[in-house]
Every structure is written in C-alpha cells, then in structure tokens.
Amino acid sequence: MKKLNLILLVNILVFVFLVIFLELILGNKIYINKLNCGYLHCSANYHYKNNIYEGKEIINYKKDKYGFRGLRKKVNEIDILTVGGSTTDQRYLETKDTWSEKLEFIINSNNPDFNFDVVNAGIDGQSTYGHLWNFENWFSKIKKFKTKYIFFYIGINEYFSNTKNIYDHGYEYLNFPQKVKLWIRENNGLIYKTYNLIYRYYFPQDILNVGHKKREINYKPANEKIEINNENIKQLNARLDKLILLTKNLNAKPVFITQKTFRSKLIDGEVYSVDNIDYISKEKIIAKIIIDNCRKNKIFCIDLYKTNQFSENNFYDLVHTTPEGSNKIAEIIYKNFNKFLKKN
C-alpha cells in the first residue's frame, strides 16, 4: 500500500512539474516583450449568434496577432489608431460595421488620393488609466509600430473612486487567489488556453464575457449625481496630458473625441435615467474637461458629446452603437477631421 501511495505521489509531482513547465514555456511571463494576448485577444476568431440588434444573424469577431482589428497595411504604416473602451472595440459588431472601419471607408471614398488605414485598438472596459497601460504594455512591444494619429474616443468610462479596473493599475486591490487567477490569464499559457477551449465549447456565446447587452428601457427620475471634485479634475487632466505626451513620443498626433450616451435624458426639464444616476451631468462635465485640456495643449479635438445627430435607435443598449450608429459616429468624425486636414 505504501509503495502504491509513493508511486501515486511521484506521478502527481511529475504531472504538476510538467504542467508548470509547459505553462511557463507556452505562456507570456518569461518573455519580456511578448504581448499579453490573454487580455488583448490576439488572433481572436469567434462566431456567435446576434440577438441584440437586427440585420445580423451571426457575428464574427476577429483580431490579428497584434490584438488589432482592421489592420490592412504593415504595422509601421498605420494612419489612424483608434483607442477607447467597448464603444471602440465594439465586440458585438463585425469589423466592417465598427465606427473605425466606417471612418476608413468614408475618408478613402471622399479622397481618392488617400489610402488611409484606420486600425481599431479598442479594449473592452478601458478608461484613460487603461489607455496609459497600452503604451507601456502593448504598443511598445510591437516591433516597428508606427501611426500618424491616435484617436482617443473617451469619456463615459472615466470614474472617480478608489476602485480600479485590474488593467487600470488596480493590482493592489486583489487578494492572493485573484492575483493567481490574473497571472494565469495574463500568462496565456497551457492552463488558460485549455480553459478557453473548454469554455468555448460549452459556452460559445459568452467567450468574450461581454456584459453589455440589449435591455428594456425604463427611465425613472435620476436622484444620484456622481461627485467630480477639483482633485478628480486634476487627476483626469494629468492622465490626458500624459496620453498626449506618449502619443507625441511616437511622432504621432493625438486627437481626443468626447462621448455621449442615452442612459439619461431630459423629460419636461427633469433628468431621467435607466438606473437612478444623472449621466447627463457626468458626461457633460467630463466632455468639458477633455475639450478644455485640448485647448490648453493646443491639439485638435472633436466634441462629439455636443452633437444632436444621435437617437436612441442608434444604440442597442443606450451606450453601444448598432452599425447605423457607428456610421453616424464616423460621419461626424470625418466631417471635423476633414476640415482639420484642409487647414493643415
């Protein structure tokens, strides 16, 4: 019996050693310049049913080996890189239906001499904290990476509290099991790849863990305002300043684009919301901070928040756009960007 237990123990230890060895060899952690593909979804090619807006029965979400969507040229020939959260990544839209790709089409259609490549670098859930992470942990690890412009589609993901998203440098808020889980995901080795294969087989619809889905609209009086004090404004401006500096360090030009949603609306002069929060005030204040920062740093920006061209029907959940809504975003950006190009 003792001999049998010893054999069993040796086999378990050998198995654990092999798993750890393969985890390290096949993963990212021991390779300094390797991309965090567990987070970036490099080479993603997922198909899932669409039940949130009309016109598409099956969605194909694709990314290349760099974690980009829509890259046509070489990685050192990008004309516009679009950076943002889920409203830029647009996981429930095929590449051709994203506002980034529609912007590329509009620019090149209206300017026969142009051959712009607009590349989507949106990451679901990111705010300006995460966009800063991108420069050190993503763009800098792509050999010969180069772009002429970086369009930051920002605003609605900004928050002002002590709780941070993991990729917004919130590691210190994790307990030990959470840190282990995150390490395994970031390493993207044997364990996470095996988990992904099993998960994709049994839960193909949820492989991207998309939390934003079609919901019933039920507006009610908005009784809660999000506090944005002077310290919050100072910190956001510091992040914006750093994004501008990092962009210029790449010999690229930064362009900030403000955002607007329909989570709140005015009814008879009163603010109504889908979840009791006054999003109108929050989005207005953040848009103003962004535009004021643009003026301070003398960079070209687009105040999309002020546009009245959107309707609720352009969004499938009042935040994320349908293909038609994405086309409107692209048209507004092109109209403003084209004027900028003519002046410069």
Helix (H, G, I), strand (E, B) or coil at 151: strand
26 burial class (0-12, 13-18, 19+ CB within 10 angstroms)?
Answer: middle
Checking if the pLDDT of 270 tops 60, the result is yes
Percent of the chain clearing pLDDT 70 (strictly above): 79
Checking if the pLDDT of 88 tops 80, the result is yes
State the average pLDDT over residues 230-249: 96
Q: What is the pLDDT of residues 59-86, one digit of tens each?
A: 899 999 999 999 999 999 999 999 999 9
Spatial contact of 153 and 120, defined as CB atoms under 8 Å apart: no
Domains recognised in the chain with CATH numbers: 59-164+213-343 (3.40.50.1110)
pLDDT at position 39 is: 86
CA angle 73, 75, 80 (to 5 degrees): 75
Q: What is the pLDDT of residues 22-37, one digit of tens each?
A: 666 666 665 556 888 8
Residue 69 CA to residue 321 CA, distance in Å, equals 17
Confidence of residue 169 (pLDDT cuts 50, 70, 90): very low
How far is CA 68 from each of CA 48, 156, 262, rounded to the nearest angstrom? 19, 22, 28
From the list 24, 4, 33, the residue with the least C-alpha distance to 192 is 24
pLDDT at position 299 is: 97
Residue 106 CA to residue 93 CA, distance in Å, equals 18
Name the residue with tokens 């609209």: 217
* DSSP of 85-145: SHHHH-TTS-GGGSHHHHHHHHHHHH-TT----EEE---TT--HHHHHHHHHHTGGGSTT-
344 vs 202, residue with greater confidence:
344
β-pairing, 264-267 with 270-273? antiparallel
Confidence of residue 201 (pLDDT cuts 50, 70, 90): low
Spatial contact of 124 and 236, defined as CB atoms under 8 Å apart: no
State the average pLDDT over residues 293-307: 96
If phi over 0 gives left and psi between -120 and 50 gives alpha, with beta otherwise, what is residue 298?
Answer: left
CA angle 322, 339, 304 (to 5 degrees): 35
